Amino acid sequence: MKYETVHDVTIPKIGFGTWKIGGGSRPDPKLDPVSLAALHSALEVGYTHFDTAETYANGHAEELLGRAIREMGVRREALFITSKVQPAHLKYEQVLKSCEASLNRLGTDYLDLYLIHWPRAGGKYEETFRALNKLVRDGKVKHLGVSNFNLKLLKQSQSLSETPIVTNQVPYSLSDRSYVKNGVLEYCQQNDILLTAYEPVNTGNLRSNKTLEAIAKAHNATIFQIALAWLVQQPRVITIPMSFNPQHIKENFDAADIVLTNEELTQLTNA
């Protein structure tokens, strides 16, 4: 596994996303067995960074993640757990309450990273960061970040946070370069902020990419592994793919070890 280190925190280049674990926007108990099996597989393979949120299955994803960690007997200190507060809960007391609820569902005393999940239309974040800064001072959160923030909001969050903003989690992949075009990626790379790429593979678009197929064949890898390797080799970029399939879970993890040539990186970027 490759890692990125910013502001004295080291995070694996590839983590495990938990959107769809335990349901969509609402809990679906029928998915519990397959969800727990996926989490067990990820822990067995060696994933140590897990990304979740209070909105994922309305908190049930956090519950299942906490349960899987206990069932596998993994030490909390060996893991890096990220969760997020939703835009409807950005007032001072709401932030504190949301974090406490996430900690309870996960069965942990602290979060390694806590993000504002989405910006709120016309939102003012002074009150939000007053709560987030308190959570850091109280030891309930180690690091702060944001998600889906444009450049203006990212800079605003930096000015309000008492500690460095560690990441901006945004959609980024071979088929989605919107946060390259809006300047966020370059700003993150120049200012020691990780860009956490979610939705790193888009099945439909990738399957029609002949350049990707050729490079995958040359490395005896899947197109999805190459798409992840392309992200991983970029400075200050990490990613959080998700799968219920044990084989794909391992393939995603192993993608961090694929080394693409500069020519291949350029071909993929320009494809």
Is residue 50 within 8 Å of residue 15, measured between CB atoms?
Answer: yes
Sheet holding 80-85, edge to edge: 16-17, 49-51, 80-85, 111-116, 141-147, 165-171, 194-198, 237-239
Q: What are the two backbone dihedrals, phi and then psi, of residue 228, each rounded to the nearest 5 degrees?
A: -75, -40
In terms of DSSP bridges, do strands 3-6 and 9-12 run parallel, antiparallel, or are they unpaired?
A: antiparallel
**For residue 206, what pLDDT is reported?**
77
In the chain, % of residues over pLDDT 90: 94
Average pLDDT of span 159-168: 98
pTM: 0.97
What pLDDT digit, counting tens, does each position of 2-23 carry?
999 999 999 999 999 999 999 9
**How many C-beta atoms lie closer than 10 Å to residue 198's C-beta?**
19
- pLDDT at residue 196 is higher than 90: yes
**For residue 7, what pLDDT is reported?**
92
Structural tokens at position 164: 């460095």
**For residue 203, what pLDDT is reported?**
61
What pLDDT digit, counting tens, does each position of 198-248 carry?
999 976 677 778 999 999 999 999 999 999 999 999 999 999 999 999 999
Average pLDDT of span 112-117: 98
What pLDDT digit, counting tens, does each position of 73-86 carry?
999 999 999 999 99
CA gap 173, 67 in Å, rounded: 31
**For residue 204, what pLDDT is reported?**
61
Burial class (CB in 10 A: 0-12, 13-18, 19+), 70: exposed
Residue 96: pLDDT band (50, 70, 90) is very high
In the chain, % of residues over pLDDT 70: 99
**For residue 148, what pLDDT is reported?**
98
- pLDDT at residue 123 is higher than 70: yes
Please identify which of the residues 3, 47, 56, 179 carries the catalytic annotation: 56
What pLDDT digit, counting tens, does each position of 27-45 carry?
999 999 999 999 999 999 9
Average pLDDT of span 162-183: 96
For the chain, the domains span: 3-200+236-244
* 114: annotated active-site residue: no
| Cα-to-chain-centroid distance, residue 76 | 18
CATH class of 3-200+236-244: alpha beta
Burial class (CB in 10 A: 0-12, 13-18, 19+), 240: buried
Residue 195: pLDDT band (50, 70, 90) is very high
